[in-house]
Amino acid sequence: MNPITISNLSVEQDSLSMDGVNLVKLAEEYGTPLYVFSEKRLRQNVREILDTFRRFHPKTNLHYASKAETTLGVLQVIHDEGSMLEVNSGGELFKGIQSGFPGEEIVFNGVGKTKEELEFAIRRNIKAIIVDSPFELDRLIRVAKRIGKPANVMLRIVPEVSTNVVKGDETGTHETKFGISTDELDGCVQAVLHEKETLRLVGLHFHIGTQTYNLASFVAAFRVLLETAIRIYKKTGYRPAILDIGGGLPVPHYIDPAARQYMPENIYQMLRGALSVEQIAHAVTDEMKPQAVREWAGDLYANFFEDCELILESGRKVVADAAVVLSKVLSEKRRASLDEDWLVIDAGLHTMLEVKTYHWYFPIVCANKISKSHVRPFKIAGPLCESGDVWFDCDHHRDLPDFRMLPDSTTAGDWIAILVAGAYGTPLMTRYNGRPMAGALMIRNDGSVVMIREPETFETLLAGEKSLF
């Protein structure tokens, strides 16, 4: 499995290029660490999801999960390509609106929405506030009544489906903090329907986790949603207009197949992310077809879901392979007693998702020696004063490969490219250890390169702080 087969990456002379732009030159000109996004790839990803799902169920909409990447320029491209938006806070709602999404194209998730955030969302006439608990429903009713404006509501169910990935990435069982407990759902439905003047129940929602590699998990959760919808109809006569199946479409992280020998199989499969959009679209939409529904719900309900809008809240699949992070090798170290060679690079857990907590693997290559064989094993570390700031599993659980293969001559001053790095990257940056946050460029469709986020400077480290003396 060679990561350079990612469609918009290529090798030009000895350098890695993206959309025909030499990434080494960008690193030299703009400094590192540096995010580089591909407009072309962002657009292709949105198109792939929309076109594939619409082939199976024309009334499908993508609500891009903005938590995966919220830089204004990225949101603008995604909006321009026809995606709608999913947000998780007032801040994301604000950024979504600023980047051009109308309220009518936004759904709002989250376990801890404040009164102010709810008011903001209602005033913007958003498509749906996705209610996460009876407590929140009560709060929403009060806010909507106080401002005298009705709110559109979806209810987040707990399908009790585990995706068998790492616990921090699962959200579909009652052991997690997400969703309305099954025994409280009917009460919430009744309460929403009772508040006809204040609330409009537009649909039902679930999200079982990120990087869901197992098709059966999607299908099982969707089946629970469908069964719940029919059960509610039988009890109340309410028929949902929207079925929202959350995100979790997986992205291949091009993990070395040799890693399978020692890694836990579920983590290996998760990182491999081999399930295609087509497979998911096919299997999920099959479940709502009359032939399938008739089998378990009877003739009367066969066509129950035909007119429903299907919503996907994909985040990772839209942005992950649309960006690389460029980084510089700052220093080298030899641990002779262990026979280990180490490289310290300037990208670490302050630059993107911490790999240790989420057992995450990003392919890493030497961008300025890309055509040389990547045959020498190195341990790679970030620059922070933290033992956990490394690109392997420092707990030695063998959940990730310890070594990365780079050219034999890789040395301080070389440029490293961290691939498939566009999801859960810039939103997780910190200034820890006094390190200004990285900037981001976008390679536009016409080949021009535009800065979409300024790299921070030392001055930024003082921003907002007040001097005592």
Ligand X SMILES: Cc1ncc(COP(=O)(O)O)c(C=O)c1O
Among 15, 162, 210, 228, binds ligand X (CB under 6 A): 210
Burial class (CB in 10 A: 0-12, 13-18, 19+), 106: buried
- Find the shortest distance in angstroms from Cβ 45 to ligand X: 11
Q: Are 191 and 270 in contact, with CB atoms under 8 Å apart?
A: no
How many Å is the maximal CA-CA distance in the chain? 77
Q: Are 329 and 345 in contact, with CB atoms under 8 Å apart?
A: yes
313 near ligand X, rule: CB under 6 A: yes
Nearest to 423 by CA among 275, 351, 273, 322: 322
Tokens of 199: 């609330």
Residue 272 or 317 having the CB closest to ligand X: 317
> What number of other Cβ atoms are within 10 A of residue 300's Cβ?
10
Residue 315 or 383 having the CB closest to ligand X: 315
- Find the shortest distance in angstroms from Cβ 178 to ligand X: 7
Nearest to 19 by CA among 454, 446, 451, 452: 446
- Find the shortest distance in angstroms from Cβ 231 to ligand X: 23
363 near ligand X, rule: CB under 6 A: no
Tokens of 153: 């509501």
Nearest to 67 by CA among 42, 49, 92, 43: 92
Tokens of 54: 């619409």
Nearest to 16 by CA among 6, 24, 8: 24
Beta strands in 164-290 (DSSP E): 199-205, 242-244
315 near ligand X, rule: CB under 6 A: yes
In whole angstroms, what separates CA 453 from the centre of its chain?
A: 19
- Find the shortest distance in angstroms from Cβ 386 to ligand X: 25
Contact stretch for ligand X (CB under 6 A) within 51-59, 307-315, 425-433, 447-455: 307-315
Among 40, 43, 207, 328, binds ligand X (CB under 6 A): 207
159 near ligand X, rule: CB under 6 A: no
316 near ligand X, rule: CB under 6 A: yes
Contact stretch for ligand X (CB under 6 A) within 8-16, 204-212, 436-444, 457-465: 204-212
Among 38, 314, 327, 410, binds ligand X (CB under 6 A): 314
Contact stretch for ligand X (CB under 6 A) within 259-267, 315-323, 357-365, 460-468: 315-323
> What number of other Cβ atoms are within 10 A of residue 338's Cβ?
9
For 51, 120, 129, the CA distances from 126, given in Å and listed in that order, are 24, 9, 7
Residue 3 or 246 having the CB closest to ligand X: 246
Task: Give me the residue whose beta carbon is nearest to ligand X.
Answer: 247
Residue 109 or 269 having the CB closest to ligand X: 109
214 near ligand X, rule: CB under 6 A: no
Contact stretch for ligand X (CB under 6 A) within 203-211, 228-236, 288-296, 453-461: 203-211
**Window 96-135: contact mask with ligand X (x via CB under 6 A):** -------------x--------------------------
Number of residues that bind ligand X (CB under 6 A): 17
Beta strands 323-335 and 34-38: pairing type?
Answer: antiparallel
Residue 65 or 406 having the CB closest to ligand X: 65
Residue 56 or 178 having the CB closest to ligand X: 178
Which residues are registered as beta bridge partners of 290?
A: none
**How far apart, in whole angstroms, are the C-alpha atoms of residue 15 and residue 17?**
6
**Window 238-257: contact mask with ligand X (x via CB under 6 A):** --------xxxx--------
Residue list 25-84, contact with ligand X (CB under 6 A): 65, 68
179 near ligand X, rule: CB under 6 A: no
Contact stretch for ligand X (CB under 6 A) within 3-11, 46-54, 308-316, 400-408: 308-316
Q: Three-state DSSP class for 182? A: helix
**How far apart, in whole angstroms, are the C-alpha atoms of residue 135 and residue 18?**
48
> What number of other Cβ atoms are within 10 A of residue 230's Cβ?
19
Q: What residues line the site for ligand X (CB under 6 A)?
A: 65, 68, 86, 109, 171, 207, 210-211, 246-249, 313-317
